[in-house]
Structure 1
Amino acid sequence: MLLRYSLSIFLFLASIQVQATCISGNCYNGKGTYIFKDGSKYGGTFSKGKPHGQGTYYHKDGSVYVGEFRSGMKHGLGKMTFKTKDIYTGYYEQGTISGSGKMTYINGDVYHGEWSSGKFSGKGKYTFADGSVYEGSFANGFFSGTGRLTDVDGSYYDGEWVENKKNGKGITMKNGDLSVTYYKMNVLIKEEGMQSETATNSTTSRCTNKTNNSIFYSIRL
């Protein structure tokens, strides 16, 4: 009998926890606070029973979004603080990061530029915590297209990329020397010397084949 009674109490309490409810205000057309079945919470303006306008959404994993909503989805300008403490400030479209925005990662990396479907896409700038910088084109979350990667010592590669790998023709500057370089998926195929940035009256011409040992950068989303 006691076991049956305890089980009934447990089921009753569980049913309370999963019920979605408006805990304050007008959660249909107006301002209010609403707790969803999964434990997440929204406080802000509503239209026809859905978050619409300005509000704050507390995800059950601890992430918090403050910004604009449309018909129940993040849409417009907002700020998202993820449970990892990474912070995104920028635009959403139909619930997904899209448009221009800035992501600051907890490790010190920063991306500022264009997004599509939650990934880097278009023109942007990625600054690594160590001070090196990539600026140029992105696609599907990768360095893709044309762009320049500048290391902390000032050396750089300015050219073509595919999925974070140098691929195609580019200009490389190292120790003040410029060269035209040709890569295939991060492997240096050919290098042709150019006039040094420090030289004034001399040019060199050379062609070598060797393997590139540059660092492969991994981008997190």
Structure 2
Amino acid sequence: MFYDKYVSLCAQKGVTPSAAAKEIGINKAAVSNWKHRRNGPSDITVQKIADYFGVTTDYLLGADGKRDSGEEMAGWYSPLRFWDKINENRSDFMHYFMQAWEYPVEDIANLWGVPVDNPEKATDEEFKGFLLSTVKAVRLNPEDGEWDVVIIPQTEKGPTPVSESGPSDPVTAQIMEIICQMSPEEKRLYLENLRTLRLLQAQGRKPDIQE
């Protein structure tokens, strides 16, 4: 049961369920609803809780520590658990990320503003949003420092790509949330239009808008 895992994680962290909810930004009524099984948390709330405790959403939702493939999740965590280490050498992390990424490379820059060849150019907010929208879990090998990365299937709706403290640009955050909700075909059409628009801008031309 979700509430039981939530309470157990709170105990391990040394905080009360109410105090943890306040720090995460969840109201007490929601926690009460989980306790009495009136309803469960939203996908975004589950992700926030997973990031707060440094666990995977699979664990919180009752996946019994298993990935979809059946492999054990021991040592697998939300990427924000390792934020400082990932952020201090983004290029190194991206090397391992790209080994697991099976989608168009240009999507990473077009959708999340993260240049694959130079991820340090992205802002912290952009890079966090990218991680939350694309990385399901990570595992760091302590012996060689290599990363194992599990990608969120892009046919699923990923978390809204904004920072934990909220977006600095509400309009951008709203646009990114809409993009995350797109189907693969809608994303493809969006990217095609975006590429055409950028090509026209580079050529100093304006797009033809048909009424």
Q: Which has the higher helix share?
A: 2
Same fold (TM over 0.5): no
Which band: TM-score by shorter chain? Answer: under 0.3
TM-score normalized with structure 2 length: 0.22
Q: Which has the higher strand share?
A: 1
Higher relative contact order (CA 8 A, sep 6+): 2
